[in-house]
Structure 1
Amino acid sequence: MLFHVRMDVRLPSDMDPSVRADIVAREKAYSQKLQREGKWPHLWRIVGEYSNISIFDVSSNDELHELLSGLPLFPYMDIRVMPLATHPSKVS
C-alpha cells in the first residue's frame, strides 16, 4: 500500500541544543533504515520549511502508523496522510 505523507516539524524554540542534535541524529538514522528497507522509497524536503513530502510503501494502515509513531521527532510533528491508488490512465 502506498501513502503520501506530509510531515511538518515544530521543535520548541527553547529546546536544548544538545537534545535537539540528539533527536535529529536519531531521526536521520531511523529514516535511513526505513529507506534501505524499502518502506520509505521517496523523501523530499519542502523548500523553505522544516517539512517533507514522503511516499511510504507498507502493508497496512497499522504498519504506517507504527512507523510514523516510531519517528523520534513524532511528538513534534503535524502529519497528514493520504492513501494512494493506481490511476487508470497510468502507463505500465
Structure 2
Amino acid sequence: MLYLVHMQVNIPATLAPEQADRLKAEEKAYSQKLQADGVWRHLWRVAGQYANYSVFDVAGNDELHQTLMGLPLYPYMAITVTPLAQHPSAIALN
C-alpha cells in the first residue's frame, strides 16, 4: 500500500547540539536504507521548513506505523498520513 506522509520536525532548543547532530545522522542512515529497500519511495523537502512529504510503500498500517516509529527523530515529529489509491484516470501504474 502507498501512503503520503507529511513529517514536520520540531527539535527542542533544549536538546544538546551533539545529541541533535547524532539523531540527524542516524535519521539519514535509516531513511537511506529504507529508500534503498524500496520502502521509502519518494522524499521531498518542504522549502523553508524542517519538513518533508514522502511516499512509503508498505504492506499496511501496522508496517507503516512501525517504520515511522523507527525514525530516530520520531519523538520530535508531527506526522500526518494519507493512504493513497490508484486513480482510474492515471496512465501510470504505482
TM-score relative to the length of structure 1: 0.98
Unaligned 5+ segments in structure 1 are none
- Who is 2:53 aligned against? 53
Return structure 1 stretches of 4+ with deviation > 3 angstroms. Answer: none
| C-alpha distance in structure 2 between counterparts of 1:91 and 1:41, whole Å | 19
| C-alpha distance in structure 2 between counterparts of 1:76 and 1:12, whole Å | 8
- Who is 2:39 aligned against? 39
TM-score relative to the length of structure 2: 0.96
- Structure 2 letter corresponding to 1:33: K
- Who is 2:7 aligned against? 7
Number of aligned residue pairs: give it.
92
1:89 shift after superposition: 0.5
Per-residue displacement from partner, 1:36-82 (whole Å, max 9, x unpaired)? 00000100000000000000000111000000000000000000000
Unaligned 5+ segments in structure 2 are none
Where 1:41 maps in the other structure, the secondary structure is strand
| C-alpha distance in structure 2 between counterparts of 1:15 and 1:41, whole Å | 30
2:73 aligned with 1:73: yes
Where 2:78 maps in the other structure, the secondary structure is strand
